[in-house]
Protein backbone atom coordinates (compact mmCIF):
# COMPACT_ATOMS: atom_id res chain seq x y z
CA UNK A 1 0.00 0.00 0.00
CA UNK A 2 2.81 2.43 0.90
CA UNK A 3 4.54 1.54 -2.36
CA UNK A 4 1.41 2.40 -4.40
CA UNK A 5 1.02 5.78 -2.64
CA UNK A 6 4.70 6.59 -3.22
CA UNK A 7 4.43 5.61 -6.90
CA UNK A 8 1.32 7.81 -7.33
CA UNK A 9 3.16 10.79 -5.80
CA UNK A 10 6.04 10.29 -8.24
CA UNK A 11 3.61 10.22 -11.17
CA UNK A 12 1.82 13.31 -9.84
CA UNK A 13 5.15 15.18 -9.45
CA UNK A 14 6.22 14.23 -12.98
CA UNK A 15 2.91 15.46 -14.40
CA UNK A 16 3.30 18.77 -12.53
CA UNK A 17 6.85 19.22 -13.81
CA UNK A 18 5.80 18.52 -17.40
CA UNK A 19 2.85 20.92 -17.02
CA UNK A 20 5.12 23.64 -15.61
CA UNK A 21 7.60 23.25 -18.47
CA UNK A 22 4.75 23.36 -20.99
CA UNK A 23 3.21 26.51 -19.48
CA UNK A 24 6.58 28.26 -19.28
CA UNK A 25 7.21 27.46 -22.93
CA UNK A 26 3.72 28.50 -23.96
CA UNK A 27 3.45 31.77 -22.05
CA UNK A 28 7.03 32.83 -21.48
CA UNK A 29 8.65 33.57 -18.17
CA UNK A 30 10.58 36.78 -17.90
CA UNK A 31 10.04 38.33 -14.47
CA UNK A 32 6.32 38.53 -15.11
CA UNK A 33 6.75 40.03 -18.59
CA UNK A 34 5.04 37.87 -21.17
CA UNK A 35 7.09 38.52 -24.30
CA UNK A 36 4.90 36.23 -26.41
CA UNK A 37 1.79 38.20 -25.46
CA UNK A 38 3.62 41.45 -26.27
CA UNK A 39 4.44 40.00 -29.71
CA UNK A 40 0.75 39.28 -30.30
CA UNK A 41 -0.35 42.74 -29.13
CA UNK A 42 2.24 44.55 -31.29
CA UNK A 43 1.33 42.36 -34.29
CA UNK A 44 -2.36 43.15 -33.90
CA UNK A 45 -1.63 46.89 -33.74
CA UNK A 46 0.50 46.64 -36.90
CA UNK A 47 -2.34 44.84 -38.70
CA UNK A 48 -4.86 47.41 -37.44
CA UNK A 49 -2.71 50.32 -38.68
CA UNK A 50 -2.36 48.70 -42.11
CA UNK A 51 -6.06 47.86 -42.47
CA UNK A 52 -7.17 51.31 -41.33
CA UNK A 53 -4.33 53.00 -43.26
CA UNK A 54 -3.69 54.85 -40.00
CA UNK A 55 -0.13 56.06 -39.74
CA UNK A 56 -0.68 57.37 -36.19
CA UNK A 57 -1.14 53.83 -34.85
CA UNK A 58 2.07 52.64 -36.49
CA UNK A 59 4.02 55.74 -35.44
CA UNK A 60 2.94 55.27 -31.81
CA UNK A 61 4.59 51.83 -31.75
CA UNK A 62 8.04 53.14 -32.71
CA UNK A 63 10.72 54.30 -30.30
CA UNK A 64 11.42 58.02 -30.03
CA UNK A 65 14.94 57.52 -31.38
CA UNK A 66 13.64 56.25 -34.74
CA UNK A 67 10.68 58.68 -34.81
CA UNK A 68 13.10 61.60 -34.50
CA UNK A 69 14.71 60.84 -37.86
CA UNK A 70 13.90 63.50 -40.43
CA UNK A 71 12.18 61.37 -43.07
CA UNK A 72 10.42 58.92 -40.73
CA UNK A 73 6.88 60.26 -41.31
CA UNK A 74 7.30 60.01 -45.08
CA UNK A 75 8.61 56.46 -44.74
CA UNK A 76 5.58 55.48 -42.64
CA UNK A 77 3.18 56.51 -45.40
CA UNK A 78 5.26 54.67 -48.02
CA UNK A 79 5.30 51.58 -45.81
CA UNK A 80 1.51 51.59 -45.43
CA UNK A 81 1.04 52.16 -49.17
CA UNK A 82 3.24 49.13 -49.94
CA UNK A 83 0.56 46.66 -48.85
CA UNK A 84 -2.18 46.33 -51.46
CA UNK A 85 -5.61 45.48 -50.07
CA UNK A 86 -7.02 44.74 -46.64
CA UNK A 87 -5.44 41.98 -44.59
CA UNK A 88 -7.95 39.18 -44.13
CA UNK A 89 -5.85 36.42 -42.59
CA UNK A 90 -2.47 36.00 -40.89
CA UNK A 91 -0.52 34.08 -38.26
CA UNK A 92 1.68 35.54 -35.54
CA UNK A 93 5.04 34.05 -34.61
CA UNK A 94 7.21 34.93 -31.61
CA UNK A 95 10.83 34.69 -32.82
CA UNK A 96 12.45 35.04 -29.42
CA UNK A 97 13.71 37.60 -26.98
CA UNK A 98 16.95 38.73 -25.41
CA UNK A 99 17.05 39.82 -21.80
CA UNK A 100 19.73 41.41 -19.63
CA UNK A 101 19.42 41.74 -15.89
CA UNK A 102 21.21 43.73 -13.25
CA UNK A 103 20.71 42.91 -9.57
CA UNK A 104 17.77 40.67 -10.50
CA UNK A 105 15.92 43.40 -12.42
CA UNK A 106 15.49 43.54 -16.16
CA UNK A 107 17.45 46.39 -17.67
CA UNK A 108 17.04 45.32 -21.30
CA UNK A 109 14.42 43.22 -23.12
CA UNK A 110 14.42 42.91 -26.90
CA UNK A 111 11.63 41.02 -28.68
CA UNK A 112 11.45 39.81 -32.29
CA UNK A 113 8.32 38.65 -34.08
CA UNK A 114 6.78 37.84 -37.41
CA UNK A 115 3.38 38.06 -38.99
CA UNK A 116 3.25 35.30 -41.58
CA UNK A 117 0.74 33.82 -44.01
CA UNK A 118 -0.70 37.28 -44.58
CA UNK A 119 -3.36 37.32 -47.28
CA UNK A 120 -5.24 40.37 -48.51
CA UNK A 121 -8.65 40.74 -50.10
CA UNK A 122 -6.99 41.31 -53.50
CA UNK A 123 -4.98 38.08 -53.37
CA UNK A 124 -1.59 39.41 -52.32
CA UNK A 125 0.57 37.51 -49.83
CA UNK A 126 3.01 39.08 -47.41
CA UNK A 127 5.30 38.44 -44.48
CA UNK A 128 6.19 41.04 -41.83
CA UNK A 129 9.24 40.93 -39.53
CA UNK A 130 9.75 43.30 -36.62
CA UNK A 131 11.96 43.95 -33.61
CA UNK A 132 11.47 46.12 -30.57
CA UNK A 133 13.03 47.04 -27.30
CA UNK A 134 10.36 46.51 -24.70
CA UNK A 135 12.75 47.67 -21.97
CA UNK A 136 15.98 49.63 -22.43
CA UNK A 137 16.88 51.28 -19.13
CA UNK A 138 20.16 52.64 -20.50
CA UNK A 139 18.60 54.29 -23.56
CA UNK A 140 14.90 54.86 -22.92
CA UNK A 141 14.47 56.74 -26.20
CA UNK A 142 15.11 53.36 -27.86
CA UNK A 143 12.11 51.65 -26.20
CA UNK A 144 9.58 50.59 -28.83
CA UNK A 145 9.69 49.24 -32.36
CA UNK A 146 12.88 50.14 -34.17
CA UNK A 147 12.54 48.15 -37.39
CA UNK A 148 9.76 46.52 -39.36
CA UNK A 149 9.94 45.01 -42.82
CA UNK A 150 7.26 43.67 -45.11
CA UNK A 151 7.93 41.31 -48.00
CA UNK A 152 5.52 40.74 -50.87
CA UNK A 153 5.73 36.96 -51.30
CA UNK A 154 4.48 37.08 -54.89
CA UNK A 155 7.17 39.37 -56.35
CA UNK A 156 9.70 39.43 -53.44
CA UNK A 157 9.63 43.24 -53.20
CA UNK A 158 10.34 44.56 -49.72
CA UNK A 159 9.64 47.72 -47.73
CA UNK A 160 11.53 48.58 -44.55
CA UNK A 161 10.54 51.12 -41.91
CA UNK A 162 13.06 52.15 -39.26
CA UNK A 163 16.51 50.66 -38.96
CA UNK A 164 18.77 48.68 -36.71
CA UNK A 165 19.77 50.89 -33.79
CA UNK A 166 22.79 48.83 -32.77
Task: Give the pTM.
Answer: 0.79
- Torsion angle defined by CA atoms of residues 57, 59, 63 and 65, in that order, rounded to the nearest 10 degrees: -170
Q: How far apart are CA 134 and CA 143, in angstroms?
A: 6
C-alpha torsion angle, residues 43, 48, 50, 54 (rounded to 10):
-130
User: What are the domain boundaries of the chain?
Assistant: 1-30, 33-162
Which top CATH class is 33-162?
Answer: alpha beta
- Distance CA(123)–CA(84), nearest Å, equals 9
pLDDT tens for the chain, 166 residues: list them: 555 544 555 454 444 344 344 444 444 444 567 989 999 999 999 999 999 999 999 999 999 999 999 899 899 999 999 999 999 999 999 999 898 998 888 889 999 999 999 999 999 999 999 999 999 999 999 999 999 999 999 999 999 999 887 6
Amino acid sequence: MVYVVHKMRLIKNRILIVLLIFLTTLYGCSNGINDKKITVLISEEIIKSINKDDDSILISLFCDYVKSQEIFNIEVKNFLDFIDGTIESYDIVWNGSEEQKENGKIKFLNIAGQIINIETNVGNKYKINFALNYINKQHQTKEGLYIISVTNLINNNKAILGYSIY
